[in-house]
Amino acid sequence: MPLKRSYWKPAVIGIVAVASGGWLLQQGSDGNVYVKMRMLQDVVRTVSDRYVDEVDPTELYDLAIDGLLERLGDPHSNLLRPEDYSDLRLQTTGNYGGLGIRIDEKDGWITVVQTLPKTPAERAGLRPGDRIVEVDGVSSRSWTPDDAVQVLRGPKGSPVNIKISRIGVPDLIPVEIVRDEIHVEYVTGFMYEDGIGYILHQQFSERSADDIRLLVDELTAEGMKGLIFDLRGNPGGLLDEGVAVSDLFLNRGNEVVETRSRIADQNDTYRATRKPIDPDLPVIVLVDGFSASASEIVAGALQDHDRALVLGTRTFGKGSVQTLFPLSGGNYLKLTTAKWYTPSGRSIHRDRDPDMVALAVPEEQLEDGPDRNALGDAVREVYYTDAGREVFGGGGINPDLVVHGDTLLSVERQFRSELGQDIPAYSDAVFRFSVAYTNEHPSLRPDFEVTHAMFDELYAWITDSGIEVRIDLYEGSERLIHRELGIQLATVAFDAEDSTRRRLVLDRQVATAAQLLRESQTQNRLFALAEERQDEEQAVHQN
């Protein structure tokens, strides 16, 4: 699909202006910029020569650059070192050279959590629960997952020698694995129930639109009559892919998003350019406080054109565009250069404490008190969709139907509270139990039921691991523990689809979306039902 610009593409015009002497022509309130440049050099030289502790001058320049960008007050503008840029490329392409495993630190060791299908790790026989205790002769004790990633990733065709410790095997197992190109699948989909399809999109990459189109076609062939499109927790990614995914559902010519900048060539309006897939298919888009960036472009565009019902909680509000400027030494400057606006004219961006953005934590998650997902009347800027429905501005995308996730029961909250600092150890114990259980039950099927016997076995495993758990709180939290154990068993034993299915158990937002789709044959009927249900949802949340 021809698109005007990716927000990752470099706009080098500013760099040319600087290199051609633009510094010398600008006057600040305190004099010529050239004087300031000389002052910076003098400061760096003096600190390097005279500071009580020796500091490398190159490190001082790095500090100056980081400090400059930090003072902008924009957490999305920063300097990408070569390794940072490599990580960014992985996020946007989904491709890297490696083994094909998901890892985590458990009990002080790097542990395989999942092996990806058709990868070197699977071919070499690695299993969930395997501890990687040595890499190329070096102990991995106390490594962080980031430490392990730096060592285990590498060029396609290059070998890596590891030693693993496996439950039930007394000796270490040496394994040589030849790295290959790995593609991370960010899109998973299946029939949630008869007639209702479900697609989970975890991050926007270069293949997002193609992968989603393929899944929609497959689900339609299986009899899909309504779609749940889950963007919860999706942090965004490429602007072009946000536009391309919106294009799958919108009519040709519909506006998707507008970018506004003080730089003329970044003032653009992006429009759908293709015929939509199944324009009569009722669609519900799920969002939450961690849905950001390109996720908000899609949700906002489909909401403004009345193409989807947006359900969940208010999105993050990351409505700014970053452009990559190539620098010397393989470095890149990632700089905010524009903001995004939905077709109705709403700004997606929501100003907040930079520390919250750095932590990727929505404000609603950090504060107690009344529902902060709903905007107060003082800031409820009213806009209108194509059909005249009211939608609200103020940053982020406000759902058509606010539905909060399932909350913990009081006994479950007390169970968590009593665990306190032992929660990581408890989670590790559930994981290790799941590995041992699946090893002992190789015939376990994806539709397995978590039985009370398994629940009792897990309790014995947890206490044998040295974790103190009150039996009354444990038994009172059976509902929660059954769900956690089911998810962990499915993650260890099966593929992404089966793991995702388990995560949807007791998912109130998905269950609500499915109920609405069962009762709606058209998109307009969905909107009407959602309006009828809003008061009921508010009452449930307040209670």
CB atoms within 10 A of CB 148: 20
Alpha carbons 204 and 212: distance in angstroms, whole number: 11
CA 535 vs CA 140, 401, 530, 539: distances in Å: 54, 10, 10, 6
CA 103 vs CA 88, 110, 128, 136, 492: distances in Å: 19, 7, 9, 18, 12
Q: Which of 304, 306, 400, 428 is catalytic?
A: 304
321 CB-side CA count, 13 A = 28
Alpha carbons 71 and 322: distance in angstroms, whole number: 17
Q: Using DSSP, state whether 232 is helix, strand or coil.
A: coil
Phi-psi region of 507 (alpha: psi -120 to 50; beta: other; left: phi over 0): beta
User: Which sign does the torsion angle of CA 316, 317, 321, 323 carry?
Assistant: negative
Q: Which of 318, 320, 428, 520 is catalytic?
A: 318
Q: Which of 140, 205, 246, 293 is catalytic?
A: 293
Distance in Å from the first CA to the final CA of the chain: 48
Are 365 and 289 in contact by the 8 Å Cβ rule? The answer is: yes
CA 86 vs CA 10, 52, 95, 183, 436: distances in Å: 16, 36, 11, 15, 36
Annotated catalytic, 318?
Answer: yes
Alpha carbons 174 and 51: distance in angstroms, whole number: 50
Q: DSSP secondary-structure letter at 323? A: E
Annotated catalytic, 465?
Answer: no
Alpha carbons 405 and 508: distance in angstroms, whole number: 6
DSSP letter for each residue of 354-380: HHHHHHT--HHHH--SS-SSSPPGGG-
Alpha carbons 295 and 396: distance in angstroms, whole number: 10
Contacts of 90 (CB under 8 A, 6+ apart): 96, 184
Structure tokens at 212: 């989603």
CB atoms within 10 A of CB 376: 9
Alpha carbons 278 and 220: distance in angstroms, whole number: 9
Tell me the helices (H) and strands (E) count for the chain, helix number first: 20, 23
Annotated catalytic, 278?
Answer: no
Alpha carbons 111 and 492: distance in angstroms, whole number: 12
Catalytic residues: 293, 304, 318
